[in-house]
Amino acid sequence: MTARIGVVTFPGSLDDRDTQRAIRLAGAEPVALWHKDKDLHQVDAVVLPGGFSYGDYLRAGAISRFSPVMESVIEQAKAGLPVLGICNGFQVLTEAHLLPGAMLGNDHLHFICRDQKLRVENAGTAWTGDYRQGQEIHIPLKNMDGRYVADEHTLDELEAEGRVVFRYVGFNPNGSLRDIAGITNEAGNVVGLMPHPEHAVEPLIGTGRTDGLPFFTSILKKLVGA
């Protein structure tokens, strides 16, 4: 069985091709999905890539949330389809209420681009099975609206249920509450994070490490039962 993982392209997506390459390197088949097409073409999982969908002119991810493809993504995610949102994709997932909370502008009001250390807090999701609990990894980060916020009740709930998947280590680059870099839904099939694992899959680019590749090998093993 060859796992087919869809990558949605919105107007303003920047990292869809990089994500497709990461999927291919992991051994799965990337499938390009267009934002105006409701048909997910029988993919086994979906990635919402980074970028500036619709220019982020209203609010990051707010317009993409209403793209025709998202109607299908929301429906199937609630039925168990694995979905990964990276950076702008994370913003789309919060706007679509597939993940709680919201993304605001960085607390220093500047775009940031750097290699970022993260700690794996939950290695039990569909997208993190190839990591170890507590493992520290380096993943490129680039965002303007990367500050994760939620009310105290939601934050406490995420912590108590083990739904914080990644946390910033050593330096909080955007003011995210409780150093949260990524979260999951209750079922563990939907994950969103701000850093870009697709830029850390080959030793010659990004961080010079392959710390991002396990995102894509994890979902491949989950889908094919390896």
Is 198 a known active-site residue? yes
Candidates 95, 138, 198, 199; catalytic one: 198
CA angle 97, 103, 104 (to 5 degrees): 145
Is 153 a known active-site residue? no
Q: Of 62, 116, 111, which is closest to residue 88 (Cα–Cα)?
A: 62
Candidates 87, 95, 121, 199; catalytic one: 87
Candidates 35, 138, 196, 199; catalytic one: 196
112: tokens are 């940031």
**Sheet with strand 136-143: strands edge to edge:** 29-34, 4-9, 45-48, 83-86, 190-193, 180-184, 164-168, 112-120, 136-143
Contact status, residue 32 vs residue 223, Cβ threshold 8 Å: no
CA angle 53, 58, 61 (to 5 degrees): 40
Is 35 a known active-site residue? no
CA distance 123 to 12: 31
188: tokens are 């563990």
Positions marked catalytic: 87, 196, 198
